[in-house]
Amino acid sequence: MLNNGRLVSPIVSCNWLNDNRNLEHVIILDARVKTTNVLTSEDYIPNSRYFDNKGKFSAINADFPNTIPSQDQFQYEAQQLGISKDSVIVVYDDKGLYWSPRVWWLFKTFGYDNVAVLDGGLPEWKRLNYETVSSLTTPTWKLGNFSAAYQPDHMRFFNHIAEISKNEHCILLDARSEERFKGLVPEPRVGLRSGTIPNSENLPYTNLLSGNCLKSKEELKSIFNTFKIEDKSLTFSCGSGITACILALAADILDYKKIAVYDGSWTEFGTLTT
């Protein structure tokens, strides 16, 4: 999985991480979202550092949740985590595959590719009976020299979506459940109307999973082939820009080149349209 210090896949197994977690440049990021202000009495992979999705790595004053931060903010906070230009980053969360692909996509959006998602996350790690600890690593690392370089083609925003939805060379895939996509159940966010972006198609992120892990490359290819993608560009949406990144991860594994995530997703679109 490493070639001259570079990850050769956007996803790594728990076996690989267990064998390589003590290498000098490997940085393990825990991407779970806090339910309280203090992370205690929980299980972590040893040497984990906390990636604060909702706080330090979001534009917290934005109108919508999980909004991508500025380049300067992302660079500063990554450096605070000790991340440098030669870091090998592996990110996981406590749900399996949920928040971690968002972190992977953020690093790619800010120009850093030496990052991978842990397949199956903490649940798979524990299922395999690998070591866990009850607290995060104490921040004793040196300030990193990470340098961010924003890649605008990786993200889409509200002003892009009307054109994308009408463009025959673009496909917009929604990662929400079929029930939410069809408006058969209320949106979980209070006050948000049900609906879909015009001309979007539904690919629930759960369809890509086998247990806590991604399905095989062959299975993923079969699923994506049902959308007749060919050389079209792909934009992924969901509720608020999180599970859309699971679709982006699968598309990257399948070597699709023209892929982007709609950052505000249905929360933004459903709020700003009627």
Q: Which are the catalytic amino acids?
A: 238
Which of 269, 241, 236, 239 shows the shortest CA–CA distance to 176?
239
Residue 240 has a CB neighbour count (10 Å cut-off) of 21
Which of 195, 213, 203 shows the shortest CA–CA distance to 267?
195
249 within 8 A of 106, measured Cβ to Cβ: no
Q: Which residue has the tokens 């992120």?
A: 205
Six-digit token string for 258: 């023209």
Name the helix (H) or strand (E) containing 12: strand 11-12
Instruction: Measure CA 113 to chain center.
Output: 13
